[in-house]
Amino acid sequence: MKTIVVTGGSRGIGFETIRYLLSHGHRVLNISRNTPDFDEDYYKKGVFFHLPFDLKNPDTLALERTFDTLGTIDVIFNNAGYLVNKPFLLLTKEDFLNVFQINVFSLVQILQTALKYLTPNAHIVNVSSIGGLHGSQKFPGLSAYSSSKGAVTVLTECLQAEFQEGGFTFNGLAFGAVQTEMLSEAFPGYKAPITAAQMAEFVSWFLLNGQKYFKGKILPVSLSNP
């Protein structure tokens, strides 16, 4: 049994990944503002924990108290994301700050707080996006979102370099189109070729095994673009 921290697990890929991990006997902490709807038995058995958490205003003390309860952490899945779909000329400083706060700055704070709880061979997986990769196709209205995911891409590579000798493995998953609420916000009416539940099966495998094959890598995970 692994202890896994997931951010943004109240919907989409995060929710389905938690459900898959719980069904396969792992212990999961979800960090999100909204509470996911899971069977009460998971709470009673002490294998599922939820921290109500506003990633726009992270509370480090609350994080530390919750991590103390877990004791150790084997895997972190930094999945939470925030998207603004707006033409560049209409984007405000607040738009950029909100997107970067949730997609980048909160990720940094969670990792800095979690470091002392990580097991020696911990695997940290950060969610990027196809739009956050150099040379990929870009789309109007997603300047703030894609640039924040570009920051996550480079940050992941930098973290691996910095902790190269520490045993931790940092990888990133750059998702393409997955049928989620966020995709509908970015591309209204578009039908993705893969569901969140289908992607969760791969994500769960990668969280538990990806460090055996990849280190400091950003993997494009996409059947289409968008």
- Predicted pLDDT at 43: 81
Q: Where are the alpha helices (DSSP H) in the chain?
A: 12-23, 40-44, 60-70, 93-100, 106-114, 143-162, 181-186, 196-209
Provide DSSP, 86-112: --GGG--HHHHHHHHIIIIIHHHHHHH
Among residues of the chain, what percentage have pLDDT more than 70? 92
- Whether residue 226 lies inside any domain: the answer is no
CA distance 169 to 140: 34
Does residue 179 carry a pLDDT above 70? no
Arithmetic mean of pLDDT over the chain: 91
Question: Is 122's pLDDT higher than 70?
Answer: yes
The larger pLDDT score, comparing residue 197 to residue 61, is at 61
The confidence band for 125, taking pLDDT boundaries of 50, 70 and 90, is very high
Q: pLDDT band for 225, please (50, 70, 90 cuts).
A: low
* pLDDT confidence tier of residue 159, bands split at 50, 70 and 90: very high
- Confidence (pLDDT) at 182: 60
Is 195 a residue whose pLDDT tops 90? no
In a domain, 188, yes or no: yes
Predicted confidence at residue 178, as pLDDT, reads 55
213 found inside a domain: yes
- Give the domain extent around 194: 3-221
Judge whether 125 lies within some domain: yes
**CATH code of the domain containing 12:** 3.40.50.720
Is residue 35 a part of any domain in this protein? Answer: yes
The structure tokens listed for 139 are 């789309």
Q: Is the pLDDT of residue 214 over 90?
A: yes
Rounded Cα gap, residues 160 and 217, in angstroms: 9
Q: What is the pLDDT of residue 184?
A: 62
* Model pLDDT, residue 193: 63
* pLDDT value at residue 108: 97
Question: Which pLDDT tens digit goes with each residue over 94-104?
Answer: 999 999 999 99
Residue type, 89: L
Q: Measured between alpha carbons, how far is 76 from 30 in angstroms, rounded to an integer?
A: 10
Give the model's confidence band at 141: pLDDT under 50 very low, under 70 low, under 90 confident, else very high: very high
**Domain assignment present for 136:** yes
pLDDT in the model for residue 191: 67
Closest CA to 137 of 126, 145, 146: 146
Q: 220: closest CA among 181, 166, 174, 180? A: 174
How far apart CA 127 and CA 132 sit, in angstroms, is 10
Whether residue 116 is contained in a domain is answered as yes
Q: Would the pLDDT of 187 be above 80?
A: no
- Give 82's contacts (C-beta < 8 A, 6+ positions apart): 55, 98, 99, 101, 102, 103, 145
| pLDDT, tens digit (0-9, with 9 covering 90-100), for 71-101 | 999 999 999 999 999 999 999 999 999 999 9
Spatial contact of 125 and 75, defined as CB atoms under 8 Å apart: yes
3-state DSSP call for residue 202?
helix
Question: Tell me: the pLDDT tens digits for 18-67?
Answer: 999 999 999 999 999 999 888 888 888 889 999 999 999 889 999 999 99
Q: How many domains are there within the chain?
A: 1
Question: How many Å separate Cα 107 from the centre of its chain?
Answer: 8
Q: Is residue 165 part of a domain?
A: yes
